[in-house]
Amino acid sequence: MGRYAIRRLLQLVPVVLGTTFIINYMVWQLPGDPFAGRCGQRPCPDSYVTAMREQFGLDQPILLQYGNFLKNLLTGNMGTDFNGVSVASQLGDAWPITIRLALMAVAFEAVIGIGAGVLSGLKRGGFLDNVVTISTLFLLSLPIFVTGFLLQWLLGVRLGIITPTVPDEATVVQLIVPALVLASLNMAFTSRLTRTSIVENLRSDYVRTAVAKGLTNRRVVGIHLLRNSLIPVLTFLGTEVGSLMSGAIITEGIFNIHGIGGLLWTAINRQDYTVVVPVATLLVLVYLIANLLVDLLYGVLDPRIRYE
Amino acid sequence: MSDPTATQDLIKGADDPAASPVAVRDSQRSLWRDTWDILKRRKIFWISLVLLILFLLMAAFPSLFTHKDPEYATLSKSMELPSAEAWFGYDLQGRDVWARTIYGARTSIIVGVLATLATVVLGGLTGVLAAYFGRWIDAVVSRVGEMFLGLPYVLGAIIILGTIAPAQSNPSKFTIMTVVIVVLALLGWPILMRIARSAVIQAKHQDYVQAARALGAGPMRIIFRHLLPNSLAPILVYATITIGSFIGAEATLSLLGIGLRSPVISWGIAIADHKDYLRTGPHAMFFPAGFLSLCVLTFVMLGEAVRDALDPKLR
């Protein structure tokens, strides 16, 4: 396991360097003005652009710029936003809310997704299976913002069950609907993955052996079948924690939640790219690290992976 | 498995009433023939096919569905609710929502299809090359793919689009569509590269490839005549579903204000323009959103029907 972990860690290094390099290159080297939005609705004066180019070292060789970009990121020096407020302190305020939202979303995905998947997989072709298949198909085709606006309008504006936007404190109860919206797409994926996995394993030799030994149905399903079927599902859930972060941009924007996603949404609307880039890069890093952790977890759950 | 005659079989099978299941078993059986036999019995396939044709008609000849001008605005009718005269009501500028929704199909579908095409070409080529030549080419392609996979869709698009085409800028219709298509393809190719790569690696060691090589066929011939046609099935399925998800992605980017923008007519722009008027006129947003979701659903359903038919495990 130790060697496997080290190998995976070493494999991550070029990917992190490459991805951050791509981001850095695209933002600063491609045509376009990364400072366009720094001055609000009017174009920036030349003197300001020159000062900014100097501050961000755009006149230096590209590799040196990249080095500085990494150094600033690692030391937490992420500059200030349009109003001169430090990005790092805003991130500090926003993290807890986004983490709460993401954890709730993962919980919904796990409970509802796995539950529906297991039920439909065990009774393949039954009524419940059809209901789950069709409803996941619908969930898969609804872009996340459509689900978001729909629930906001239906529950918030029409029925008045929830407040259309989430207040500042963003308690668990207030976050239920946004978390469901954030989870909706992955919930459908989870349930489908669980179903496929269950259906495949139901035909496997070890399940047949377990049944032949005379074990009760509950034991066969609960111990033998579920444990093996859920390994791919768990890894999927893990990988998707990272992508939830980018889904959070839309969800937090719609429900006006002051998390990382909301921060990005506002910064994009204000064209404040010197804020967007470090925050987006951080989210990419979270995504990559989540993937690494999942790979390690995979190694623990399924020992065969380690010896590939 | 697949050769040029297979496609003819597929078409022949469609209008030949004598092709009963027994007769089919006796004649040549190919993957595509099998697939078609299964597909034509699935209700979901026919539903998605009908919807697909409707959407394609909408994109090609919007005037078949409406006589109104999607650009014509009557400000006094701003946000008027649906009525017999205007089925979907009027939007913020007093333009007919039904007409704009119909005309929006074209942009959304063009972006989805072209971006998918670019993804397939880029990902398919790199995947086939990586799998066929192996060694360092494979290593380089796979690592570069991993780097792009490290960028989640929305984030990657925000970073790239934000700098090339920030919300304040006013690019021409052609420029912004090209940029969005390129960005979607750039972020989407690694998944297709992996699919194509694994399909070709599997096919590479089959006897017919060895035979072709023994007969002196060069790499180009082996790739294009033997490997590609036989690795097409998984690529095709993924591409169909991807068209749907790209249409959704385009709308998401428009919603964020960094994708397409006025005066382009698209579902995403209509949704973005009316997202702040949910209370007074939800119709201006939900009708385009409904069409958008239905269109995504069509491609997802079609892809899934084809995948189920191609998957031997379910037979």
pLDDT tens-digit profile of B58-98? 888 888 777 777 777 777 777 777 777 777 778 777 788 88
Q: Do B285 and A149 touch (CB under 8 A)?
A: yes
Query: 9-28 in A: which are within 8 Å (CB) of B?
Result: 14-16, 18-19, 21-23, 26-27
* More confidently predicted of A285 and B94: A285
Helix/strand/coil (H/E/C) assignment for every residue in B61-112: CHHHCCCCCCCCCCHHHCCCCCCCCCCCCECCCCCEHHHHHHHHHHHHHHHH
A20 pLDDT more than 90 = no
Residue A170 pLDDT: 72
Q: Do B278 and A153 touch (CB under 8 A)?
A: yes
Contacts of A138 in chain B (CB under 8 A): 297
CB B252 within 8 A of CB A143: yes
Q: Do B148 and A153 touch (CB under 8 A)?
A: no
* Residue B263: cis peptide before it, omega within 30 degrees of 0: yes
Q: Which of B44, B45, B141, B151 to mutate to test the interface with A (most CBs of A within 10 A)?
A: B151
Q: Across the A/B interface, how many CB contacts are shorter than 8 Å? A: 149
**Closest by Cα among B206, B224, B214 to B128:** B224
Q: Which chain B residue's Cα is nearest to A281?
A: B155
Q: Do A145 and B297 touch (CB under 8 A)?
A: no
Assess A302–B contact: CB distance below 8 Å, yes or no. Answer: no
Mean pLDDT lowest for which of A78-87, A199-208, B128-137, B188-197?
A: A78-87
* More confidently predicted of A158 and A252: A252
Q: Do B278 and A271 touch (CB under 8 A)?
A: no
Assess B154–A contact: CB distance below 8 Å, yes or no. Answer: yes
ipTM, two decimals, is: 0.78
Residue B313 pLDDT: 57
Contacts of A150 in chain B (CB under 8 A): 286, 289
Contacts of B147 in chain A (CB under 8 A): 14-15, 18-19, 21-22
Query: 236-265 in B: which are within 8 Å (CB) of A?
Result: 244, 248, 251-252, 255-258
Mean pLDDT of A192-197: 89
**Closest by Cα among A276, A273, A283, A285 to A248:** A283
The burial class, CB within 10 Å (0-12 / 13-18 / 19+), for B254 is buried
Three-state SS for A36? helix
Mean pLDDT of A224-248: 80
Q: Read off the pLDDT of residues B269-293 as tens digits, 9 standing for 90 and up.
A: 888 888 888 777 788 888 888 999 9
Assess A154–B contact: CB distance below 8 Å, yes or no. Answer: no
Q: Do B252 and A243 touch (CB under 8 A)?
A: no
**Which residues, given as ranges, of chain B have pLDDT below 50?**
1-24, 26, 315
CB B301 within 8 A of CB B40: no
Using CA atoms, how far apart are residues A124 and A206, in angstroms rounded to an integer? Answer: 19
The burial class, CB within 10 Å (0-12 / 13-18 / 19+), for B89 is buried
The H-assigned helical ranges of A123-174 are 127-141, 144-151
Contacts of B285 in chain A (CB under 8 A): 149
Q: Which chain A residue's Cα is nearest to B166?
A: A271
DSSP A113: I
Work out the minimum CA distance from A276 to partner chain B, whole angstroms: 7
Confidence label for A302 from pLDDT (cuts 50, 70 and 90): confident
Contacts of B275 in chain A (CB under 8 A): 149, 254
Mean pLDDT lowest for which of A70-74, A194-198, B10-14, B86-90?
A: B10-14
Residues in chain B: 315
A49 to A183, B218, B263: CA distances (angstroms): 41, 55, 30
Q: Do A22 and B275 touch (CB under 8 A)?
A: no
Q: Read off the pLDDT of residues A118-147 as tens digits, 9 standing for 90 and up.
A: 989 888 878 888 899 889 988 888 888 888
Q: Which chain A residue's Cα is nearest to B169?
A: A36
Work out the minimum CA distance from A130 to partner chain B, whole angstroms: 12
Q: Do A22 and B282 touch (CB under 8 A)?
A: no
CB A267 within 8 A of CB B272: no
Contacts of A27 in chain B (CB under 8 A): 159, 162-163
